[in-house]
Amino acid sequence: MTGAKELSGPRIPDSLSTAYATWTWTVESGYPPYSVIFRLTSPAGEFRFLKVTEHGFTPTAEEEVRRLRWAKSYITVPEVLETDRDAWCTWFVTSAMKGRSAIDPSFRDNIPGLLSLFAGGLREFHQMPVAECPFQFRISDALRAAKERLARGRINAEKEFHEEHARLTPEKAIEQLLRTRPATEDLVVCHGDYCFPNVFFEHGRIAGYVDLGELGVADRWWDLAVASWSITWNLGVGHEEEFLAAYGVDPDPERIPFYRLLYDVVS
């Protein structure tokens, strides 16, 4: 289990430490100490990914496994190889995704092409059948989750809020969401965190999607607002409208700020 001694995240179950004792462990991302994703590399060079979540953290590993297994019938997602839980955490191991994520620097050589691929991937995702999806993240569900996070002290504005929301306390953020809540929703199956690291391309086509823990039926602007935000984070200003046009919508000055603030509060 090379590299694991440097971890500051969730405790690793003994069964995993034993099963992957000869593999190299690399922290990929996460929210230490509650949730961490590891890249596992075998001595032969095989890659797998492990996600460990402490009980009480949302979305849980169990919730993400259910979403991955449901989505697999419609889109390309990693295969869940094993999953389990103990008294302290839940976890799952998946296969590696083919291709490269949109964050790969090589895609910057053709930004219009990258934006077109990124928009096409979101259109494909939104084509999954709403009526068949058992997971819900409509505004009422999201606001309820936000209030629960607030009550449990899990909203850390200083660490989690982006610059445009830095003036808000968690309480004020939820007040603003309640005040600016859109009256209607254009429902699709949303990814929940559609950003560059979570979308993979290969040979000029979508290769698949990762990090589906917040997949659910929601307003399409939940994804569009976050996706266009991700474009500015990764490419700089000036590309959001081109992405939205490639997807097939005009900017929505009411829903974009609402769903970006909602993202900061519940993610």
> Of 193, 219, 223, 264, which one is the catalytic site residue?
193
186 flagged as catalytic: no
d(CA 246, CA 167): 33
**Residue pair 57/90 in contact by the 8 Å Cβ criterion:** no
Tell me if residue 95 falls in helix, strand or coil: strand
Q: How many other CB atoms are there within 10 angstroms of residue 112's CB atom?
A: 10
What does the alpha-carbon distance between residue 80 and residue 94 come to, in Å, rounded to a whole number? 4
Question: Contact 208/97 with Cβ under 8 angstroms?
Answer: yes
Q: Is the dihedral of CA 99, 101, 106, 111 positive or negative?
A: positive
Both tokens of 213, joined, read: 């823990």
- Check: CB of residue 102 under 8 Å from CB of residue 199: yes
Phi then psi dihedrals of residue 46, to 5 deg: -75, 140
C-alpha triplet 63, 160, 3: angle, nearest 5°: 70
Please list the residues that pair with 29 across neighbouring strands: 37
Report whether 196 contacts 116 (CB < 8 A).
no
**What's the rounded Cα separation, in Å, for the pair 74 and 124?**
9
Number of Cβ within a 10 Å radius of residue 171: 11
Give phi and psi for 243, each to the nearest 5. Answer: -65, -45
Active site residues per annotation:
193
